[in-house]
Structure 1
Amino acid sequence: MSGQSRASPASDGITPLQQMVASCSGALLTSLFVTPLDVVKIRLQAQMNPFPKGKCFVYCNGLMDHICVCDNGNSKAWYKAPGHFSGTLDAFVKIIRREGIKSLWSGLPPTLVMAVPATVIYFTCYDQLCAVLRVKMGDRASEAPLLAGAIARVGSATVISPLELIRTKMQSQKLTYRELTDCIRSAVEAEGRLSMWRGLGPTLLRDVPFSAMYWYNYEKGKAWLCERYNTREPTFAITFVSGASSGSFAAIVTLPFDVVKTRRQVELGELQARNLSHQVSSSTFSVMKRIVMQDGFSGLFAGFLPRLIKVAPACAIMISTYEFGKAFFRKHNQERIHRPLQTNT
């Protein structure tokens, strides 16, 4: 037992570093699969409503979203090529034919810069917290995933929020690193350190409930499927189905906050692009009220199908890859422990 604890200090038989590698692999694979969907979506958006200078849009790979600032109508890789698309399938075919298949991943680098560190922090924190809370909560250990998921999301979103703001500034104003440092320093002096976390409130309102519901339902669904199919270790199919179903449910419930967060994030990005960052965007409640007045209650559920189409496979791919990676490292650690014993015998 002492040899096992030295080799793998994590409660589930793997180290935090191995958890980070597994989550990093999941983030990379998820981004590779989901990025083409957003590249096509943004091309379709651009032909209907071309992005004017200073306009922002949200680029999402299913794991998290990113503000992208438009310098002019045709400069960005996501929608640089002219052409008319009649639909999603037509866009896929024409983009591949005219620009090559690589163009479907033209938005991948900025996605990975933000998605990989955020996902590594999030998944590793969740596993570590969940292991501790299961022990601490005793009879209520089944609720540990809900609390661990919420806390882990607060931590990862808080860490990443300033990075997202910095990246938006760099993209909108074409700053060098020295100019960026001076810009951030002056903004902090004028508006305080909390200005680096603008827009964090709506992000947490959407992501924390999503994360809490996702992990609780995922663990419950995984346990139920393992019991139903009489298996101690969840298979790839079990984790895939559990991830997709729990992600879909959480995405539907938190959709109104996603709509509000997107509105505020785009608004904040436009202020950054126009050097009007001192203007404070509307509160979550007022944005929600304005959406209901303009579009009715159904406006809070705008983008229902696109969000579901992206989030469900993203959650499924991410969690099943992550669980597969953990299982690989767990088996590797066990083999390392048993190898010296077999040699001695």
Structure 2
Amino acid sequence: MLGERRNNSKLNQVHFVIAGATSGAVTRAVCQPLDVVKIRFQLQAEPICYHSISKYKSVTQAVILIYNEEGVKAFWKGHIPAQLLSIVYGCAQFGTYELFMKSFGPLFHQQFKPVKNFIGGSIAGGVATVVSFPFDVIRTRLIGQCDKLRAYRSIIHAFVHIYKNENFKAYFRGLTPTIVQVAPHAGSQFMFYKLFDRAYKKVVGIEETRYSATSCLIAGSLSGFCAKLVIYPFDFVRKRMQVQGFQRYRRNFGKGYSYNGMMDAFEKTIKQEGFNGLFKGLTPSLLKAVFTTALHFSTYEFVCQYLEEYN
């Protein structure tokens, strides 16, 4: 079981990294379309409603419009850097979490298990974010660019173009709101996952350290929903900041915006788009969170179980 393997477990840190990478890759491949729709909503300055001049007005309308204008491949735009992001993130996240639980887990009293899981998840999320962040910037820009006025031809071209025309710091634009977001988000995910997993197993009478696919899916989906709802405005601001200096390639998507840091982004969004503007793309984001977190944790647990049985 995540973070609580038996003493005679055959798994080591390499196995946890492999399981994390596999989990990230599988989750990304399946859920990428929801991410594309979510990011398009987040980058749109106009209101998301039918009586507006906005390009995207609802989830259904956005899906149909993207398909009609750009084809089915558009739902996997930026998929290669997104896969690299997910693999690197999964390796770092689960590897760091398991290492933390092994090194510091025994120091926590039984009654402080939720706190232990929150701290371990927060540290793991922070480490994984910093390591994988440049891939997040690249995939956001690839998803956000207009097909008729493309800035980047490929992931390599994007990396080179950003370095030459902006600077190295551009790879980490939006890192501050991301860290502020990811630490409590990842911590909440692990904490809620363990709480829901234990609750389910207690109700159905399953041993706590035993693998259960149903428990993983239920606990994962609920933890993803709860965690995403708490930190969503920071995810929104992160995406807006990642396309700074990139607005001329987004002319077909509506008016642009410019921010001088995280707090300025929050203030201008609320002033120009209202408080609800901070929650643009929340519906597809919650759908994505439910599916991806359930798949993320269940795949990780399954791979660990497989490696333990056949190693």
TM-score for the superposition, normalised by structure 2: 0.72
Q: Is the 8 A contact 2:27 2:296 kept in 1?
A: yes
Q: Is the 8 A contact 1:206 1:257 kept in 2?
A: yes
The AA in structure 2 aligned to 1:324 is: F
Partners of 1:178 and 1:207 lie apart in 2 by: 28
**SS of the residue 2:229 aligns to:** helix
Would you say 1:321 and 2:299 are equivalent positions? yes
Aligned counterpart, 2:194 = 219
Distance of aligned partners of 1:195 and 1:104 in 2 relative to their CA distance in 1, 3 Å threshold: closer
How does 1:163-174 map onto structure 2 within 5 Å? 163-164=135-136, 172=151
Deviation at 1:327, TM superposition (A): 1.1
Aligned counterpart, 1:282 = 260
How does 1:1-345 map onto structure 2 within 5 Å? 13-38=10-35, 105=76, 107-139=78-110, 141-142=112-113, 143-164=115-136, 172=151, 184=163, 197-232=172-207, 233-267=210-244, 269-270=246-247, 281-333=259-311
The AA in structure 2 aligned to 1:161 is: F
The AA in structure 2 aligned to 1:314 is: T
**Deviation by residue 1:201-250 (Cα, 9 ceiling, x = unmatched):** 01111111111111111111111111111111141010111011011011
Higher RCO (CA < 8 A, seq sep 6+): 2
TM-score for the superposition, normalised by structure 1: 0.66
Distance of aligned partners of 1:201 and 1:299 in 2 relative to their CA distance in 1, 3 Å threshold: same
Q: Percent identity?
A: 23
Moved more, 220-229 or 98-107: 98-107
Q: Is the 8 A contact 2:31 2:292 kept in 1?
A: yes
Q: Is the 8 A contact 2:39 2:281 kept in 1?
A: no
What is the root-mean-square deviation of aligned Cα atoms in Å? 4.3
Moved more, 134-143 or 170-179: 170-179
List runs of 5+ in structure 1 lacking aligned partners.
1-7, 50-84, 274-279, 334-345
**Deviation by residue 1:284-343 (Cα, 9 ceiling, x = unmatched):** 22211222222322222222211101111011011111111111112224xxxxxxxxxx
Q: Is the 8 A contact 1:244 1:312 kept in 2?
A: yes
The structure with more radius of gyration: 1
The AA in structure 2 aligned to 1:23 is: G
Partners of 1:255 and 1:179 lie apart in 2 by: 27
Partners of 2:120 and 2:23 lie apart in 1 by: 20
**SS of the residue 2:205 aligns to:** coil
The AA in structure 2 aligned to 1:126 is: Y
Partners of 2:247 and 2:34 lie apart in 1 by: 24
Distance of aligned partners of 1:101 and 1:20 in 2 relative to their CA distance in 1, 3 Å threshold: same
- Count the aligned residue pairs: 280
The AA in structure 2 aligned to 1:285 is: M
